[in-house]
Structure 1
Amino acid sequence: MVAAMSFKTINNVIETWETIRRMPEWEKEIGVGLFAKFFKMEPEAKAIFGFREDLDVTDYKVLISPRFVAHAMQFVTMIDKALNMMGPSDEMLSEILMDIGAKHARYGVKPEYFPTMGKALVSVVGSNLGEDVFTMEVQESWIEVYNAMSHDMIKGLGEVYTVKKNDISTEIEPQQQVDSAIWT
């Protein structure tokens, strides 16, 4: 997974994540922004995350509701832990991400949600860092790291689906690698 990435790529992500972590209420800010964007792009995913399909993520009351904020912050904590494991613990990180993917498969998370979640994450990180810090090179680093991590989670999803469907072999499409040109 991460082992094939350059030091520069990993360093770009870790350094910019550290900048994010120094912001006031960073977990809440990133998490709420991320899920608001994700649910706008994938409205049917609301139910999978335990929210009503008619949840209006443009409503300020929704965005500050304790349940929405808690879920968003929990997701950011997971990202934080994964990014902290990058480097010497690549194999363990891959196994953990596959386990997380398997857990999410039981909730009904679909592989096609991962590129959308990645786009939302990179967008929120970029808007919080600003153009001076979030350069095209940094953006491409984030896309590469996200694709690698989500690949392991999707692999975990696939294993659960294979077991779940017993003898019926269903191919899970490999993760779409997101072309950085569509992110701009």
Structure 2
Amino acid sequence: MSELSYNTTSSVIESWERLKRIKNYQEVAGVTVFQRLFEKCPQARVLFGFPIDIDTNSSELLQSKRFLTHAAHMMDMMDAALSMFLGPDMDMLHEIIDELADKHRRYGVTAPMFPILGEGFLLALETHLGESFFDNKMKEAWKEAYSLLSCEMINAMSK
């Protein structure tokens, strides 16, 4: 896996740590990520046990314990991945990515879903941190970091 520059790493860490200061950030930001995924990729709704035609703004979805749990879990997984990705635990990250890739392949997750999920992360960061903080420099840093992580996951899924 390629390494990120110091500036890119700093931007990603700074914005992620600020996001984590938001009360219930896992649920709050996770809902934004999953809403984007469900809007742009309706078949993902079915993978998570929802009808393909469920309204992504409906209380049925947004108040669903299953939806909120998945949203929070996704944010926890990203937090763990970033901790390893941006820290000294790259070997452990590769092992975890291999395990996650195997699970996600069995669930029916496909490679085209990853860029949409990336859009969701960018939207969540911009929405919850504000455009004045989450500027173009930070957005580009996140695109680079997410691209590396998602490419690793996609490659592991194709093994």
TM bracket (short chain): over 0.9
Corresponding residue for 1:155?
Answer: 155
Q: Cα distance, 1:84 vs. partner?
A: 1.3
Query: What secondary structure is seen at the aligned counterpart in 2 of 1:30?
Result: helix
Shift of residue 125, structure 1, vs aligned partner: 1.0
Give the total of aligned pairs.
158
Matched residue, 1:52: 51
**Displacement after TM superposition at 1:130 (Å):** 0.7
The unaligned stretches of length 5 or more in structure 1 are 160-184
Match of 2:7 in 1: 8
- Equivalent position amino acid for 2:89 in 1: S
Write the letter of the residue equivalent to 1:152: E
Structure 1 residue 45, shift from structure 2 partner: 1.4
Structure 2 residue aligned with 1:129: 129
Asked if the contact 1:101–1:152 (Cα under 8 Å) also holds between the matched residues in 2, the reply is no
- Structure with more helix by fraction: 2
Matches within 5 A, 1:12-51: 12-51=11-50
Q: What is the alpha-carbon distance in structure 1 between the residues aligned to residue 79 and residue 115 of structure 2?
A: 19
Matches within 5 A, 1:101-140: 101-140=101-140
Distance 2:31 2:77 in 1: 14
Residues 99 and 153, structure 1, Cα contact 8 Å, conserved in 2: no
TM-score, normalised via structure 2 length: 0.94
Write out the 4+ residue segments of structure 1 that deviate beyond 4 Å after TM superposition.
none
How far is 1:122 from its partner? 0.8
Q: Which has the higher contact order (CA 8 A, sep 6+)?
A: 2
**How far apart, in 2, do the equivalents of 1:144 and 1:27 lie?**
22
Q: Secondary structure at the match of 1:51?
A: coil
**RMSD over aligned Cα, in angstroms?**
1.2
Q: Which amino acid aligns with 2:77?
A: M
Q: Tell which deviates more after alignment, 58-67 or 118-127.
A: 58-67
Which structure: larger Rg?
1
TM-score, normalization: structure 1? 0.82
Task: Map Cα deviations across residues 114-170 of structure 1 (whole Å, 9 max, x no partner).
Answer: 1111011111111111112101110000011101111111012101xxxxxxxxxxx
